[in-house]
Structure 1
Amino acid sequence: MVEDEIIVAVNLGQKLKKLGYELVGITSSGEEAIQKAEENHPDLVLMDINIEGNLDGIETAEVLRNRFHTPVIYLTAYADESTLDRAKKTQPLGYIVKPFESDQLRSSIEVALYKNEIEQRSKQTEEKLKGALNQLGAGIVTTDENGFLLFMNPAAEKLTGCKYKDHLGKPVREILFFENETGDTIGSVVEEVLQSGLPKESGNIFLISKNGNNQEIRFQSSPILGAEEKLTGTFNILRTKEQHTSTTEKDTYLKEIHHRIKNNLTIISSIFSLRSGQADGESNDILRESQNRLRAVALLHEILYESKDLSSISFELYVKKLTDALFEIYQVDREKIRLELNIQEAKVKAEIGMNLALIINELITNSLKHGLADSESGLIRVHFTRKDEMLTLDVSDSGKGLPEDSIRKRSPNSLGLSLVESLAKQIDGKIDFLNQQGARIRLTFPVSV
């Protein structure tokens, strides 16, 4: 606390103690406050504006913010307009007007501490993001909603021939000049995005650099949307022709890998199919179930091969293709056995999708082989939903239900439970086996996995 009136300081100190706060020091001057802050690293400083010494409260607060990142709440009985304007520039977390009650003091401190925590987290996230963007080979430029420069990474500095520190807060059109192949000047792509609110990508165009090192590039500009979908700026990527070609070649190579894996798995599945025709009883069942698992994995690679996004898949499409294949393998009469799909989460990571598909494969296989084997009619449900930060896969049927012994002992022979539980653990999932008018298996796992 920085307060030069001793009676006020003592009274305030008593209030703080009653409210459960630890007071690490009381000073009456700015110089002493800076020294104590360096020694004690307080979470918050209560600062009177009019204090003793060469520094007033506002000047002291500025030193504390710049040197130690220490948040401040101003204590003041009165202040003219010019003083308040000076105080605002130090970015205080609040003002308390003297005299004040304990409740007002507590609420002001709690709000200030919370705001400071949020601001510090935001700054840490921003610094991590800037660090990551600075490592990229592609040029990155961001602007505010008026087209003024907010950020530019070293790669963008090199491409444009402009220094970030020299152009911060200036119109981005001063550093981004483009020409087409015929030498005609191209209008500002960034301004088009700001006006339309829609992303825009150029073909191959030429960036006119300040250092005369003009390059053929591809330019992408995307709107940044804040609260309530309000446009707050743009995020822009500049890739040289070589970088764009390299990215395209990598995507093509990955697609080819997925294609080869899918083909190899299909061949192995076909071998299993041939061998199953020569086997009897339990051996035949084991071969067919192994074949189905291989088919589930091959199907994932088939979808990735046909997709533009190689890191995630359309889960609804995946589940539909998988269940259709299983119904065909077990020659299900769809007039008698119905399938109900409710997939609310459209996209999942490819590696998560594989685990979920293998689980679905096991559970539907169990339903078709055991739960609904002798039924004249029945229903299989596959629901995939999200609530807050948790995802839930719910698979159920209207059949006989799970044998209580297999639920209690987790017998791997009855349901492939060992595989299901192992796949669930790999995605930090919790799995419940239930009997509710048939078999029901519910898997919950975090979105962040």
Structure 2
Amino acid sequence: MLFIIWFPLIWPVIKPSQPDSLSMILSISYLFLDLIFLLGVTIVLFSENKKINVLPILLLALGIFLQVLGDMAYAYHVVVPNLEYLYFADLLYSSTSFFVILAIISYLNKINIDIRDYLSIYRKPLLYNDWISYLPLILVLFTYSLLLVTSPDAALIWGVGIIVTLVILRQVISLNEIRKAQITLKRNKEIISQRKAQLDFITSNMLDLISESDEKGVYKYVSPSSKQLLGYSSEDLLGKSMYDFIHPDDSEKVIESLKESQGIAEGMRIQYRYKNADGNYVWLETTGKPVFDEKGFRGFIYSSRDIRDQKKAAEFVKKSLKEKEALLREIHHRVNNNLQIISSLLSLQSDNVVDERDHELFVESQNRVRSMAMIHEKLYQSDSLNSINFSDYIETLLNSLIYDYTKDLGHIKLDLDIEKVDLNIETSVPCGLIINELVSNALKHAFPNGRPGKIMVKLHQDNDQFILEVGDDGIGYSEEEVPENEKKLGFNLVKSLLQQLDGSMEIQHGNGTVYRIVFSELKYQKRF
């Protein structure tokens, strides 16, 4: 375009300095070298980055434009020597170097700008922009009009011929590019249409509801499955706030969960009640993920599903567990009652026994039954049905034994050092029987004739093991008495219970007797 504007201005001057038309055309074509250079550099920039860097190209184009103007000014100076033409050409050449350097700096530092907001051409209607595509044709017509007002010669005819050729080539290339663009656009539209149809088919038939909301919770997208899940069409929910449909009692929980998810930029999962098209609230479980772009937080993408059946199943299981818990408490209560009845029967029967030794056997059996009954009593009274507070159980058992054997709590003192531990029923029963046997033996033999003394019981946990110490400061027994004592029923029962606990026992003699027992809590063995 610069050449066409400049041609009628410089041609009258440059014509006398050239010997023939071909030389003149070659001289004029020098101006195209800068444009070819600009085209080459632009191609390199595009192929290097695979995208348009607007700022470097804009600065380089401006520099080349000034270079062309400088060449024109210098051409005038060569034909008609004039210092003003020379100074003007030097200024333009200097400006060219300045803009080229700026283009290189912006390219190396990857500095770029978006000029679309500054060009009104991108904001005008399409019909207004169409005249630009006809600009080469207008210039051709203008050049041909020169033939009508001037005397045509060979150089002008050559120049017009070159321009006509360029315009035709440009139009052919443009038509080919438009055709390729139309084919690509049509193919892309078909692909997008197919994918959209496939997405609509999937979202319409899936059980989950896919939705997107902005940062305020307003729906931007709702999958067609909302009709099947909630009774709403997608259009019914678009543009509305999701909080308008959430149960008032669940709104605060949902808001806090979304805020926390946004703050940590991670997904969330929450269950809440949602009003359907019938006005009823249904339980939904929603998995949400916050979405961010270069401007920051832009909203959430959700996947929701109906969990009414799961809620009903969970409620049924909860109710069933409560019923079984009540039933289990009743079983423990009845076992305790039955054991108490057996203990009472033994007590009544012992009153009719004349022999002292036989009476003692009845009392020992009664205490053993009662020690087991206490465990079942503690179980149905506790919050947990699989373990009891064993320290509380030991204190109750010891007080009961002292009262039964002495009828007077004054001369026997208790020295208790019991760590607060919970033991399951599998461990509590044998451990309680062991304590019953050892304490009963001490009360019968360690403090004869009302001798004052002390019963010591210690229980501590060491990692996964328990250490139980039961002792007294009574008269003890000699080494000769040990084998005889070991033959007694009570001692044999203790050894049998130790095997059941997979424990070990150490007996310390001296000022009284101390039994040191080490055992672990038994694991529950499934019976069925």
The TM-score, its normalising length taken from structure 2, stands at: 0.43
More helix by share: 2
The TM-score, its normalising length taken from structure 1, stands at: 0.50
Larger Rg: 2
More strand by share: 1
